[in-house]
Structure 1
Amino acid sequence: MSATILVSGASVAGPAVAYWLARYGFEVTVVEIAAAPREGGYAVDFSGPTHLTVLERMGLLTELRSRATGGRPSRFVDGGGRTIFRLPAEFTGGDLEVPRAEVSGALRDRGGDRVEYVFGDTVTALEQTTDGVLVSFRDAPARRFDLVIGADGMHSTVRRLAFAPEHACVSYLGYQVAGWDLPNQWDVRGELVFHNRPGTLAGLSGDARVPAQADAYALFASPEAVVPRDDRHQVLQRVYAGQRWLVPELLAAFPAATDVYFDAVARVQLPSWTAGRIVLLGDAACGATLSGLGTGLAVVSAYVLAGELARTGDHERAFAEYERIVRPYAQRCQGEGHPARLLAPTGRAALRLRDLVLGSATGRALAMRFGGKAVPGPDLPDYAADTL
């Protein structure tokens, strides 16, 4: 099958599927709304043999291990900064933790000049015909592609244009999550430090490789599913008013931050990931904030989708097989639990109980046993045997 394919989104899922498609001989274009590849950002995890197998087949595992952060233990403190309990790095991390920007950059490098990247533009309309998809862009002239892949995240433009409005497929779970960079004036390195009040969590971390910079975190219960950009600092100040520890200093640094993440904690659920010649991938299809498995799932999904397109030579069969293989795995990765409720319990009694359980060796052992991040994956076909 020789085809032209547009991929929307250049974070992780997009470059991953673009790499495989180009390797199989497809003509691939990736469009990304950001003006340039994003730098900074937070570490992402790969957990379990399924994730690591795909990285190995891409020839990326050794390289990413050389860039790994090594994982970080967590420490929860009271308002005076005294430690309440500690958690090992294995509790919150996976088998391999790497900064997101470095994963994305490594994937783009693997595609090389076989993939066309277009930054600073976005899809505005999709018109399907019997033999392709006419794609309109905000800035560039319209182009026809044989297939379109929406790998553009939880707030996917492709999903909105071709499947359903966001409110119909994204469930808000009652929390907002934020992160921002700031100077590391506390010299925190190699650990995550958290402070709770009922319904809120504030955190600080540092990377020993970049000692001058730290990252702040906020997770808080909120009835509002959307916080307008201009209101974010005011909302944080209101929610965290009167809190001790380092909270006032973390909030004061928010307006000057250069790398800010702020979004709802949500879960994406769709009856189908395909619509004709258009298919969804990664968070656009099955995102779940705070699951910790989204990046690995995106890489695995990209491997299967590209492999099925190359193996079958027919997009309808390929899309059906991709969803058959990946959907059960994605549902397990999404999970039934709600990590925000563990990280930021809304009641005082629930918070005390959480601290009591995780503060005991038995409680930590049980949590590690039943709350581990590795999820059994599907049996991965070896597409190289049939397609390369």
Structure 2
Amino acid sequence: MRILVSGASVAGPVLAHWLTRYGFSVTVVERAPAPRRTGGHAVDLFRPAMDISERMGVLPRIEERATGTSRLTVVPEGSRRPVRADLSKIFGGASTRHAEIMRDDLSEIYRDAARDDVEYVFGDSITAIAPDGEVTFLHGAPRRFDLVVGADGLHSTVRRLVFGEGSRADSFTGAYFGVLTLPNVSGLDGELLIHVGVGRTAGLYGARHLGDARVLFLFRGPSGLDRDHHDVARQKEVLRGAFAGMHAEVDRWLDELDRTPAFYFDSITQLRLDTWSQGRVTLVGDAGYCPGAAVGGSTSLAVVGAYVLAGELARADGDHERAFPAYERAMAEHVRGSREVALSAAKTLIPTSRLGVWGLAQGARLISALPAGPSRALVRLTTRSARFHDSVTVDDYPAPLAASGDRDAP
């Protein structure tokens, strides 16, 4: 049985790995001309995704490539007294098993997990999907597949082609984020430095194996600032306006916008669809149920979703009419919970008042000052995401085949 997956970031390679282990034949098509090597931004894997990664045999590589960020310095806007905290205690309270890793590193690790069994096609994209499974491409010749999966992110081409232009059903959280790469002139090693003000937060961090650093900008703004997500010049202008005058250090970060080798900007938007499947096509990860980039644990959710989708297809012996509804039922609670986490996290990380700024700084100080046991209890008591991430469970699916091979179509 032949399955086409669009997108080679996180959900796509994880899905491809599990599908090949269940005996399906998988092709992954990716618009980018080659695997991205710039590092991307840091993403979090929580216990369920860590458990799945361990079953894939890639956990040692993930732990080796973890950013190693363990210290937090918070500078409230207008204050000369930074607050320093033990970030490992905060993460430890949020999840019993956690890793922070650069997104491009994670993508590479997941791709390598089934590199010899999956056909990867870079530099191409889907232009049409027929009901009978015939797929046309921007560059390659048309091909027929039994199933097609969109794992191509919030701005999914597969979703647009199959569900229509108005299918996004966005729920804007009222916030945006931007990421830029700059030289690690501060020599950050294991530290996250953030400046926090009303409606805006800017943070600088490095990774122990990278020679550069990343700045993450989070801010509140009206809907429509990301109207054209390809207009990079406009995006940089918006960031400059949102963070102007916050702090001399933040101004220096903004000065790098015209020199940065890597930049990303988008709204923090939740995707709410009535269904993620239509005919032979389904969606996974941000393409189907983005809970809110940068705040909702979307990377972990994508890993779990890919694992569940592959498992349900294996359980149904490739019958998508049974597998797709089962996949959506299995993921529904996880998706709802991730949306709630995102809204709660956005409120905390991008305070709406001076009291919220003070609370973020003092909460980090208190958690850091307490012994490990009480600090974990405090995080779990005050942070909705802490209670959610470790509560996610997934089914045990059929044992993978000893060797990959084509599964007969049902």
TM superposition score normalised by structure 1: 0.90
| 1:42-61 paired onto structure 2 within 5 Å | 42-48=41-47, 50-61=48-59
Whole-Å separation in 1 of the counterparts to 2:89 and 2:82: 19
Whole-Å separation in 2 of the counterparts to 1:270 and 1:122: 23
Whole-Å separation in 1 of the counterparts to 2:297 and 2:195: 24
1:340 is aligned to 2:360: no
1:387 positional shift? 8.8
- Unaligned runs of 5+ residues in structure 2 are 404-410
* More deviation, 212-221/148-157: 212-221
1:7 positional shift? 0.3
Structure 1 letter corresponding to 2:142: A
Give the number of equivalent residue pairs: 381
1:366 is aligned to 2:383: no
1:10 positional shift? 0.4
Whole-Å separation in 2 of the counterparts to 1:118 and 1:62: 27
1:318 is aligned to 2:329: no
Match of 2:5 in 1: 7
Percent identity over the alignment is 39
SS of residue matched to 2:114: helix
1:96 positional shift? 1.9
Match of 2:391 in 1: 376
1:309 positional shift? 1.4
Instruction: Note if contact 2:25-2:118 (Cα within 8 Å) is conserved in structure 1.
Output: yes
Any runs of at least 4 consecutive aligned residues in structure 1 with deviations exceeding 6 A, and if so which? Answer: 385-388
Instruction: Note if contact 1:286-1:334 (Cα within 8 Å) is conserved in structure 2.
Output: no
SS of residue matched to 1:155: coil
Whole-Å separation in 2 of the counterparts to 1:59 and 1:350: 42
1:163-213 CA distances to partner (integer Å, 9 max, x unpaired)?
Answer: 243564221111110111101112222111111221111111122333x41
Match of 2:83 in 1: 84
Whole-Å separation in 2 of the counterparts to 1:188 and 1:368: 29
1:287 is aligned to 2:298: no
SS of residue matched to 2:155: coil
Structure 1 letter corresponding to 2:196: N
Out of 96, 101, 122, the residue aligned to residue 98 of structure 1 is 101
Whole-Å separation in 1 of the counterparts to 2:145 and 2:400: 28
Instruction: Note if contact 2:65-2:209 (Cα within 8 Å) is conserved in structure 1.
Output: no
Whole-Å separation in 1 of the counterparts to 2:344 and 2:166: 20
SS of residue matched to 1:237: helix
1:34 positional shift? 1.0
Whole-Å separation in 1 of the counterparts to 2:169 and 2:10: 21
Match of 2:257 in 1: 254
Structure 2 letter corresponding to 1:259: A
| 1:64-143 paired onto structure 2 within 5 Å | 64-78=62-76, 79=78, 82-86=81-85, 88-91=87-90, 95-129=98-132, 133-143=133-143
Whole-Å separation in 1 of the counterparts to 2:89 and 2:58: 22
SS of residue matched to 1:239: helix
SS of residue matched to 2:194: strand
- Change in CA separation of 1:293 and 1:166 when aligned onto 2, cut-off 3 Å: farther
1:152 positional shift? 0.6
RMSD: 2.4
Structure 2 letter corresponding to 1:366: L
Structure 2 letter corresponding to 1:322: Y
Q: Which has the higher contact order (CA 8 A, sep 6+)?
A: 2
Match of 1:30 in 2: 28
Match of 1:160 in 2: 160
Instruction: Note if contact 2:45-2:100 (Cα within 8 Å) is conserved in structure 1.
Output: yes
Match of 2:406 in 1: none
